[in-house]
Structure 1
Amino acid sequence: MSASLWSVNAYCNGIIENIDMKTGPEVSETTKLTVKGEALVWKAMTYFYLVRVFGEVPIVHNNSAEIASGTYNDKYKATIPNVYDYIVMTLEQAIEWLPEENAPGRIDRYSAYGLLSKVYLTRSGYGMDGSRDQSDLDQAAAYALKVIEESGRELVPVFSDVFRLENNQSSESLLAWHWRGDRDPWTQQNSLQSDLALTGFSEFGDTWGGYAGPSVDLQDAFGENALSLERRNRDTRRKATMMMYGDVYDYFWADKGGFDWADYVLNVQGEIQTPTGANQVKHLVGNNNDHVLGLGYGMANMATGLSTHLLRLSDVYLIYAEAVLGNQSSTSNAKALEMVNRVRARAFGKPYEEFLETTDFLSVLTFDDIWKERRLELATEGDRWYDYVRLHYYNPSRAINELKAQRRSTYNGLMAFYESGTLDPEVTYYNEDTPAPNVTDSHFKLPFPDTDLTMNKHLLEDAVEVDISQFSY
């Protein structure tokens, strides 16, 4: 994790330096600024990950200059506020350089606005005790609103369609990793399906994720229960996130009439691999035919072309609502309500105007409402842990207590239940004897790897204040 993030930072710095030194073909000034702006967004995202994973980290503004000066291994860590200031400065410059519109799938100014809103929302709680900095919350709301009102972007109407190959570059996706379903060269491809899908899910013999699965706690959050043969499915995000008994997917194995989870595990595999009664859906593409239908070409062993969305429009909607709520216990702000309810309307499969008249419409928002909505909307997209990191900034006891209370254990006897259709609590039951996770304050950031510590002893020392004004682009 550390090596990859520092490599991205160095790569972004190198792109900017090379363009400034004019070491490439002659292109327009607009193109140069666009590419530099894209590099700055990735650099900001890199530091956003670094500060949330490791906490205090060094600021490496120009790799070439530091290598030339011989000081590269003598860097001191900057404070967390310094790092956030650096991220903000980087994104502000990116906004100045980036166009409002870019080629489909590429970063534009609204990608930077959206990321900046998320950075401000996260920073708002750092060093606070039970509340958040109002000026940061106001900035988070303001930048999110620019995306909402000025970008022209809209939610993909059907939630599950966000994660289909044909929507790799949808207007909902503000920032994503885009892949090519090929192994030559290695690393251009998305290989998540191999780690997440049931054995035999593709014809390449490259899937081994069936023995894991979304947690029972996440099923609880969706109001779902693996100890039932009936799926409630009112929130369409559940089926688009985890596959369970009774679920059939027309977009997987389309050439075979769809993928039926129960039929597959009972009659093809002859076992239920997952100990939680659910398997992964997001990040899967299906078989080779599904890949051809989605992108026009086939995939390869451990290689798909499915994009990995890192910042979506629905996330920005929820950021706006949470920033507007801020330190209040509740809000009836019309725009905040609209944003959350637009996310919910799609989840319940209804047009927004029709959803207004249902009992599922929220007329008052609390933090718990938005907190849960973020979990259901972004489940298994790699965001939830970072929500806990930012919650821990200002409300550590809640973050720790929630994690300790999660139902992370497994079921016994699911195969017998699904084969017979009759639940015998003596045979099929949830294991209650799993101890709660030992979560403490120290678990909300990782230590630097030994390789980094060997190269730079100052990483073991306290962070120092860094004057961010010394840096510019």
Structure 2
Amino acid sequence: MKIYSFKRFIIAILVLGAVSSCEDFLERPAEDTYTIDSFYQNDEQLYQSVNTIYNSPWYDFQRGFMKIGDVMAGNLVFDIGDGYTNLVLNNSDADIANASASLWSVNAYCNGVIQNVDLKSGPQVSQAAKNTVKGEAMVWKAMTYFYLVRCFGAVPIIHDNAAIIADNSSATLKRNKIEDVYKYITLILHDAIELLPEENMKGRIDKYSAYGLLAKVYLTKSGYGMSGTRNEADLAEAAKYAKMVIDNSGRTLHPEYSEIFQLKGNFSEESLIAWHWTVGAQWTSQNSLQSDLSLTNFSDAVQSWGNWVYPTIDLQTAFEESATTLSRNYRDARRKATIMMVGDTYDYFWTDMGGFAYNWDSATDGMYGGAISFVSGTGSNVTKHIVGRLADAQAQGYETLDRMHTPLSTHILRLSDVYLVYAEAVLGNNATTTDASALAAFNAVRARALKGNHVDETSLTFDMIDHERRVEFALEGDRWYDLVRLHYYNPAAAKAQILAQERGTWEGLEDFYTNGDDSNLEITTHKVTGLSDEDFTIPFPEVDLSLNPGLMDEPVDFDFGSIGYN
């Protein structure tokens, strides 16, 4: 992963990438450079040209996706002494710089698609195809700004990269107010909804993808600038658009939670928006998360160094689990699909070796190493984002893995998210709700996870929904943004959650697991201290600030009339 400057991505990507392939959606490597010599003769060529938006520009956000989304949220540890665990970030951090550059590159690429599709399409390209790809680009653009505003707060709204170049303002851009950024996101999504079909090709964004994201944006927006309560009109919009997805999309929750995060779930019906990765010669087209997150030497085909990356004690507690017992709690299927713990077995990992058992001893691997050492400080490792060995990929219909490359999709918005957005929006500012449709949505998510252990809830509170969100989306790069949303209108509650978390490690696990000796079990506690409101906003990278000093100025109003919005 590499560092780019903010200015580079303001000016670098103006038009669609050159593609002439007629392969199926996302079966070709994404492009890492973008040129101006494409001309689309038919619908298929046009659709292929925007495959890139589903992977390559997002590549350098992957590590920040996990560190911001889960490490800062208290779900995961990369390095117990780092700024993400301690919520003390500085603007020289490489992963912040990469995340920022990646997000701005996505925005620039989307702008190029939106502004050039009509100009670069031949007479055989249908209006429906042009509308669809523009709509897809608009949703990805909205998603980009949704990440930007929740990470960095007030950011510049760059609607047209060509205009920025023309007036030579790339180094003097001002940040726009947070409320204007949210308004911009909703306007872009409304435009996308007008263009997108109700059904698109498998894995691609459709109208209901946009409705689902719009619902989540309104739910988040509802708390900004409020104190103690949320904006009722925004909550109503969140509920309305979420209900459209629930009632009209025809989508249902996938019956087996763990399968969503396997290769067989790459194009799950439940997935509304996803990064879809490929394995090929072109760098940035691939999912590299297995390398960061999986046990060292876990695969014979993918390099990995994740021994010391592990889920927190606090997340285990959220799943009603403890590393200090050998009696595993399998009541909630999401735990094992999210966190590996001693005693767990997986039939979809190491399929050529009879399956994988997570035990506190060594196991022989192949190409990349020899021995696995189970050294996690919390007695657990990550399950999500892991493909495993080459045989595991082949068993699910994918022939190739390589170095830091897997083709495992990263789900950014799932149907279960929309269900819980709906439940929370209906609850709104009330202490409880017994609304039947909100209960139905909430109970559907829990019933899948708990199966025969599930008993329908008859009343909901915010804490119940918030907890359900944490365990449903754990290690999916999303939890931090729930805390940001809460902090918008109830900063004390958001801070209290973080300050109460145990982000430390266990001593004595090896004696316990290998010798049955629990006398040395003790937590080396690690807590966030000195938490301030400013800690809920990530600092701009120093490279961005050095090239664009306007980012240090106070945010200004955005002129929506200048881009055709009232």
> Residue by residue, what CA displacement relative to the aligned partner does 1:20-76 show, whole Å, maximum 9, x if unpaired?
323567410000000000000000001101111111111111001220122222221
The equivalences for 1:112-127 within 5 A come to 112-127=210-225
What letter corresponds to residue 403 of structure 2 in structure 1?
Answer: N
Residue in structure 1 matched with residue 531 of structure 2 by the alignment: 439
Alignment of 1:334 with 2:436, yes or no, is yes
What letter corresponds to residue 109 of structure 1 in structure 2?
Answer: K
Partners of 2:425 and 2:468 lie apart in 1 by 14
Residue range with higher mean Cα deviation, 377-386 or 203-212 = 203-212
CA contact (8 A) 1:193 1:302 kept: yes
What letter corresponds to residue 279 of structure 1 in structure 2?
Answer: N
Q: Structure 2: any 5+ residue segments left out of the alignment?
A: 1-98, 365-369
Partners of 1:30 and 1:93 lie apart in 2 by 15
Aligned CA distance change for structure 1 residues 255 and 270 (closer, same or farther; 3 Å): closer
Partners of 2:148 and 2:167 lie apart in 1 by 24
Partners of 1:299 and 1:305 lie apart in 2 by 8
Alignment of 1:307 with 2:409, yes or no, is yes
Aligned CA distance change for structure 1 residues 459 and 436 (closer, same or farther; 3 Å): closer
Report the secondary structure of 1:310's partner residue: strand
Alignment of 1:371 with 2:466, yes or no, is yes
Give the structure-1-normalised TM-score: 0.95
Partners of 2:302 and 2:288 lie apart in 1 by 13
CA contact (8 A) 2:296 2:306 kept: yes
Alignment of 1:194 with 2:291, yes or no, is yes
Alignment of 1:403 with 2:498, yes or no, is yes
Find the partner of 2:110 among 12, 15, 21. Answer: 12
Report the secondary structure of 1:20's partner residue: coil
Identity %, equivalent residues = 53
State the 1:471 CA deviation. 1.8
How many aligned positions are there?
462
CA contact (8 A) 1:417 1:428 kept: yes
Q: Structure 1: any 5+ residue segments left out of the alignment?
A: none
Report the secondary structure of 2:343's partner residue: coil
Partners of 2:285 and 2:274 lie apart in 1 by 14
CA contact (8 A) 1:212 1:273 kept: no
Report the secondary structure of 2:513's partner residue: helix
Alignment of 1:325 with 2:427, yes or no, is yes
Report the secondary structure of 1:193's partner residue: helix
Find the partner of 2:307 among 198, 210, 219. Answer: 210
Find the partner of 2:540 among 436, 442, 448. Answer: 448
What letter corresponds to residue 431 of structure 1 in structure 2?
Answer: T
CA contact (8 A) 2:136 2:206 kept: yes
Residue in structure 1 matched with residue 522 of structure 2 by the alignment: 429
CA contact (8 A) 2:361 2:374 kept: no
Partners of 1:202 and 1:48 lie apart in 2 by 35
Find the partner of 2:208 among 101, 106, 110. Answer: 110
Alignment of 1:415 with 2:507, yes or no, is no
Report the secondary structure of 2:359's partner residue: helix
Partners of 1:464 and 1:263 lie apart in 2 by 56
State the 1:472 CA deviation. 3.8
State the 1:256 CA deviation. 1.2
CA contact (8 A) 1:229 1:421 kept: no
Partners of 1:295 and 1:302 lie apart in 2 by 19
Alignment of 1:49 with 2:147, yes or no, is yes
What letter corresponds to residue 107 of structure 1 in structure 2?
Answer: I
The equivalences for 1:250-399 within 5 A come to 250-262=347-359, 265=362, 269=371, 271-350=373-452, 360-399=455-494
Residue in structure 1 matched with residue 337 of structure 2 by the alignment: 240
Aligned CA distance change for structure 1 residues 99 and 78 (closer, same or farther; 3 Å): same
CA contact (8 A) 2:345 2:357 kept: yes
Partners of 2:226 and 2:341 lie apart in 1 by 41
Report the secondary structure of 2:199's partner residue: coil
Residue in structure 1 matched with residue 563 of structure 2 by the alignment: 471
Report the secondary structure of 1:74's partner residue: coil
Aligned CA distance change for structure 1 residues 430 and 24 (closer, same or farther; 3 Å): farther
CA contact (8 A) 2:506 2:523 kept: yes
Partners of 2:449 and 2:486 lie apart in 1 by 25
Aligned CA distance change for structure 1 residues 270 and 446 (closer, same or farther; 3 Å): closer
Partners of 1:24 and 1:10 lie apart in 2 by 23
Residue in structure 1 matched with residue 229 of structure 2 by the alignment: 131
What letter corresponds to residue 429 of structure 1 in structure 2?
Answer: E
Partners of 2:212 and 2:165 lie apart in 1 by 33
Partners of 1:196 and 1:310 lie apart in 2 by 18
Partners of 1:212 and 1:296 lie apart in 2 by 26
What letter corresponds to residue 187 of structure 1 in structure 2?
Answer: T
Give the structure-2-normalised TM-score: 0.79
CA contact (8 A) 1:158 1:349 kept: no
State the 1:456 CA deviation. 2.0
What letter corresponds to residue 204 of structure 1 in structure 2?
Answer: A
CA contact (8 A) 1:129 1:394 kept: yes
